[in-house]
Amino acid sequence: MEQEKYAHLEKELSPKPPILKNVIKAFLVGGLICLIGQFIALFYITFFDFTERTASNPTVATMIFLSMLLTGFGLYKKIAQFGGAGAAVPITGFGNAVVSSAIEHKSEGYVLGVGGNMFKLAGSVILFGVFSAFVVALIKTILVKFGVVSW
């Protein structure tokens, strides 16, 4: 009974989070990151004769590199504090996760600190991506083999 009273009192007294404001900031920051990615893709298409399809890989690599650079200079943290999920969801959040964990464990040495902890968070993302791609390719191969679909 005491826990219910406490939970009710806590709910009444806790400040209400500005959900709409946070959603708008996340939308704007995530949209700006995507807009920058689009400009980078157009740069590769215009100046390096990439197609829309082939420009995606260097664009993703450039975006990850830029987020890693901003994380190293301490700027991505400020962007993430302002934009919340808008900065965490795009591919730049991946680069930030890798470098921030590497910086955090730098004092433990380059091999055991940086190398051992660099992919703690990102490793699961990479593993899930590779495994998912394998499963989808396997299903596609089976479906094509038995004539269910044709690609």
With cut-offs at 50, 70 and 90, classify the pLDDT of residue 71. Answer: very high
| Domain coverage including residue 125 | 119-151
Q: What is the mean pLDDT of residues 98-125?
A: 76
The answer on 71 and 113 residing in a single domain is yes
**88 found inside a domain:** yes
The answer on 109 and 58 residing in a single domain is yes
Q: Which two tokens stand for residue 128?
A: 């899930």
Give the number of domains in the chain.
2
With cut-offs at 50, 70 and 90, classify the pLDDT of residue 132. Answer: very high
The answer on 140 and 101 residing in a single domain is no
The answer on 128 and 110 residing in a single domain is no
The answer on 150 and 104 residing in a single domain is no
The answer on 26 and 100 residing in a single domain is yes
The answer on 125 and 58 residing in a single domain is no
* 106 Cβ neighbours under 8 A, 6+ residues apart: 113, 114
67 in Cβ contact with 74 (< 8 Å): no
**5 found inside a domain:** no
The answer on 88 and 143 residing in a single domain is no
**9 found inside a domain:** no
* 139 pLDDT above the threshold of 80: yes
Cα–Cα separations (whole angstroms), residue 70 to 100, 125, 135, 149: 10, 21, 34, 45
Burial of 62 (0-12, 13-18, 19+ CB in 10 A): middle
